[in-house]
Chains A and B, each alone.
Chain A
Amino acid sequence: MQGRWKDSIHLIRPAAVFLAGLLLFLVVRAYIVPPTFGQYGHYRGAVLDEVRARPVKYAGQETCAGCHVEETEVKGKGKHATVACEACHGPAARHADDPGSMRPMKPEGTALCAGCHEMDTAKPKWFRQVNTKEHMPGMKCTECHAAHSPALH
């Protein structure tokens, strides 16, 4: 028994090396992994506060509606009812807070419209699409379609 022990003791050494490595890993891990990791899920809990602290860029359609009653009404009746104001005009929270401080962009229609309506087989069939090279080339879309209510009546 005594001899057996003496002749196996060297196995302790690699085991000790493994353990030392494991320990080092755990120490490094304790330092590197952010303390709030895993608080709510597989991410850093503190990130929520950081995101919340970012300035808001989009005001949301209800806010625009408070001042732009006419546009909202026109759009609400047309086919673009489901397209939010800022999808076309860009983020406008600063404008909504103080209209004089910043003017939302007033997009030149054609490129904007093509961004959503250009023909592409990968888009669902129900979505209205045109090939802009063939559909009334050389004219601005807004010459015939009103941006806020695009159907031709």
Chain B
Amino acid sequence: MMTPVPGVEGFMYPNEVELQWSLLIVLYPYITGLVAGAFILASLERVFRVKAVKPTYRLALLTALAFLLVAPLPLQLHLGHPERSFEMYLTPHRSSAMAMFGFVYLWYLLVVLLAEIWLDYRADIVRMAAVETGWRRWLYRALTLGSMNISEEARAVDDRVGYWITIIGIPSAFLLHGYVGFIFGSVKANAWWSTPLMPIVFLFSAMVSGIAAVMLLYMAAMYMQGKKVDMLCLDTIAKYLFFVFLIDFSLEMLDLVHRIYEADESFRSLDFMVHSRLWTSQVVIQIVLGTCVPLALLAAVLVWRFSETARKRMYVAAGLLTLVGIFAMRWNVVIGGQLFSKSYLGYTSYKLDFATREGLLPAIVLMLLPFAILWALVKLLPPWKPEEGDRDGVCPAAP
């Protein structure tokens, strides 16, 4: 007879009782997903020339940067020896997917995001370096890297190079988040994770969350500045959100149907888990509230006519629910994958601490941090010009 362990039901191997991958590891794919999604939205305008989403182009890039800067922090907090993480750059281990991720991250940050933002903002930076005063002047001067050439021709060159960087950036964004999915999907021993669909499911859910986040941020920014939201832009984003979400949902359902029909040796155990411990977070929050409801709202806008105010309200509701739903999806993957025993004979539970290194408090701080960074970035590199009717601030008139 074994002494009962609180929270454990049935049989667990000793090393399964306590969850090693905590809430912070839930945040990590959530945050990188927002990065990849925001970037892909930005590339819609740049590469696929969807002019209607132009007002969000720069905001999407800054959002991607703000979240990307925070993305490694949950991992650092999770590590007992964060300073050693630098060693994966010094002595790269080529056979480990996790170890190589550092390079994917750096590539994305330096070669894709920073380069694209710099090229796009260069003319503004040069202009601000001339008109600003005090420390801001010095900052902008440093950011110009010493080149003041913003002639028409130079801008054209920037534009071409930026275009190519975005083209490289799209597969890079796919890589960034597909990779996160791969890290889970390639864990052979874990039936909940191990599926080749994982990278693509992660990728599409990333796009969904990133698009929803930028949509909400755009509305919030316009509201705070007392400007009018560009409805054509908003409707277009919502339409993309709907279609990408539909693909994401289909992929997840494909995975589910496949599991149910295949019903391999893990199925009964996982099925029981979904019907017990994961019922609220998976079925209620992720699938019903976080997927079906926003999909229904977005579909309704496409099918029926609503007033502007009604549409805005529906988008806010759909966006918020989507973000909650995708968070729940990350939670269900990361936490769910550790709740069942690899013997398929028992279940443990996750106890969330509050003010500990991996508790709720640091998670909340880490989730607020990107918004603080974004706020500073928007102050520093305004995505919209203050004047009316300028090229970057307004959508072309609706046809």
CB contact between B13 and one of A4, A8, A10, A122 (< 8 Å): that residue? A122
Interface band, chain A: 20 to 34
Whether the Cβ atoms of B153 and A7 lie closer than 8 Å is: yes
Q: In the bound complex, what is the Cα–Cα distance between A4 and B154 (angstroms)?
A: 8
Q: Give A contacts to B, CB under 8 Å.
A: 3-4, 6-11, 13-14, 17-18, 21, 25, 29, 32-33, 37-38, 42, 119-122, 131
- Measured between beta carbons, the chain A residues less than 8 angstroms from B156 are 7
Given contacts A17-B145, A121-B11, contact A10 B154 (CB under 8 A): yes
Question: Are A10's CB and B147's CB within 8 A?
Answer: yes
Q: B161 to chain A: which residues have CB within 8 Å? A: 11
**What distance in Å separates the Cβ of A27 from its nearest Cβ neighbour in chain B?**
12
B91 touches A7 (CB 8 A): no
Residues facing A in B154-177 (CB within 8 A) are 154, 156-157, 161
In contact, B145 and A119 (Cβ under 8 angstroms): no
Chain B residue total in the interface (Cβ 8 A): 23
Min distance, Cβ B95 to any Cβ of chain A, angstroms: 9
Contact A33 B91 (CB under 8 A): yes
A-B contact pairs, 12 of them (CB 8 A): A4-B153, A4-B157, A7-B151, A7-B154, A7-B156, A8-B157, A9-B147, A10-B147, A10-B149, A17-B145, A33-B90, A121-B2
Which B residues are in CB contact (< 8 Å) with A7? 149, 151, 153-154, 156-157
Q: Of B14, B89, B154, which one neighbours A25 at CB under 8 angstroms?
A: B89
- CB of A13 within 8 A of CB of B153, answer no
**Interface flag for B398 (CB, 8 Å):** no
CB distance from B124 to the nearest CB of A (A): 15
Given contact pairs A10-B122, A18-B110, enumerate 7 new A-B contacts (beta carbons under 8 Å).
A13-B145, A13-B146, A13-B147, A119-B1, A120-B2, A122-B14, A131-B1
Residues of B within 8 A of A10 (CB): 122, 145, 147, 149, 154
How near does chain B come to A122, taking the closest CB pair, in angstroms? 6
CA distance A8 to B151 in the complex (A): 11
In the complex, how many angstroms separate the beta carbon of A10 from the nearest chain B beta carbon? Answer: 4
Contact with A along B119-161 (1 / 0, CB 8 A): 0001000000000000000000000011101010110110001
A43: nearest chain-B partner, CB-CB: B91
Alpha-carbon distance A33/B110, docked complex (angstroms): 24
Q: Give CA–CA (A11, B147) in the complex, Å.
A: 9
Tell me the complex Cα distance, A122–B89, Å: 39
Q: Given the complex of chains A and B, what is the CA–CA distance between A128 and B152 in angstroms?
A: 84
A-contact 0/1 string along B85-115, CB 8 Å cutoff = 0000111010000000000000000100001
B13 engages A42 (CB within 8 Å): no
Complex-state Cα separation, A13 to B145, whole angstroms = 6
If A7-B151, A14-B115 touch, whether A29 touches B146 (CB-CB below 8 Å) is no
Known A-B contacts A7-B157, A10-B149; A29 and B90 likewise in contact (beta carbons under 8 Å): yes
Within 8 Å of chain A (Cβ to Cβ): is B240? no
A82 to chain B, nearest CB (A): 23
Least Cβ distance of A26 to chain B in Å?
10
Q: Within 8 Å of chain A (Cβ to Cβ): is B118?
A: yes
Which chain A residues lie closer than 8 Å to B151 at the CB level? Answer: 7
